[in-house]
Amino acid sequence: MPPQRATLLQVAQRAGVSRSTASFVLAGRHVDMRISEDARQRVLRAAQELDYRPNLMARSLRTKVTKTIALVSDTLASDPYAGRAIHGALAGAVAHGHLLFIGETEGESMIEEKLISDFLDRQVDAFVYASMFTRYVRVPKLLKGRPVVLLNCLTRAAKPAHHSIIPDEVGAGWSAAKAVIEAGHREGIHMVGNLAHHVFAGRERLAGIREGFGAAGIKLAGTIDCEWWPDSAYEAVSAALAGGPPPKVLICLNDRVALGAYQALREAGLSIPGDVSVLSFDDSDLAAWLRPQLTSISLPHYQLGWQAVETLLDAAGRTEPAVRRVEMPVRYRASLGKP
């Protein structure tokens, strides 16, 4: 049998004070209740000697507050890269003295409904509703009227009901253009990737890139269309190289696309960045594994998770719900050089 936990009454008896005095001290209310410093120290010493821990279940029944958060995602938790958002959310929860429950639905609506119902049965205080990829979502009906923050997703509502924490993909596009311009490039700049309108990140990155180059009077030389995967990028870049003069810069829409571009450039006898500079987005582990190491604009997964919980628990700042964009920093490495 597990050892019995010390009770508040035992702490009070050991400290020689009333149960209510011990309760006020351990709740941090010794000042407003005018409890002497000597009594406070006796209570704290007794609690430490008895290894006293408050009964959170009993407290939650009294206060209706459980200090728990549920994070519900599609496949975020099981991805080793995007899962850093979970680490950020965990750190944010711990910093506020909360416990974080994590549930993954794999995109199945029935699983999602069951998960949320189970969390509600356990009386969680609030929810982080998260997505693996930045996209538009419909917040489940079960969460209506509950404290909710959206992580890496947003709604199409003109007046949103919840805060959304997403990466600043448009700003990242501007940063990509700025990095290329500052390296001295003004021509022969090609995009690599599928620019399908329904892909939120691609659409916003392209908008930022065009705005950034447009402000400097520079136009993209062309687009090499491919899926966001190495083999597709390899085939598309190889075909582009066979059909004309090589580009000066390839801006790849993610690091996997950059891997395929690297392979095609090497096979064509072109060096990076001597002949062709390459820049990418995401800053996954792959960016540091490639040779030369890949300059990539980082998806701030950890910061997204942290900010989601911070926003959720920010009782002092009950601002109007809005979309908050988190900066995506450029990680400069060896793949971007001068013309």
Give the strand pairing for 330-331 and 68-73. Answer: unpaired
Tell me which residue has tokens 């000066």: 248
What average pLDDT does this structure show over 192-200? 84
What domains, with CATH codes, occur in the chain? Answer: 8-54 (1.10.260), 68-168+301-326 (3.40.50.2300), 169-299 (3.40.50.2300)
Q: Please report how many Cα atoms fall inside a 13 Å half-sphere around the Cα of residue 292, on the Cβ side.
A: 19
Instruction: Give SS3 for 45.
Output: helix
Confidence of residue 339 (pLDDT cuts 50, 70, 90): very high
Tell me which residue has tokens 């390839």: 250
Distance separating alpha carbons of residues 151 and 130, to the nearest angstrom: 4
Bigger pLDDT: 62 or 145? Answer: 145
pLDDT digits (tens, 9 = 90+) for 112-166: 999 999 999 888 999 999 999 999 999 999 999 899 999 999 999 888 899 999 9
Instruction: Give SS3 for 179.
Output: helix
Please report, for residues 166, 212, 283, the alpha-carbon distance to residue 171 in angstroms, rounded to integers and kept in the order given.
12, 9, 15
pLDDT digits (tens, 9 = 90+) for 258-312: 999 999 999 999 999 999 999 999 999 999 999 999 999 999 999 999 999 999 9
For the cut 80, the answer to whether the pLDDT of residue 37 exceeds it is yes
For the cut 90, the answer to whether the pLDDT of residue 187 exceeds it is yes
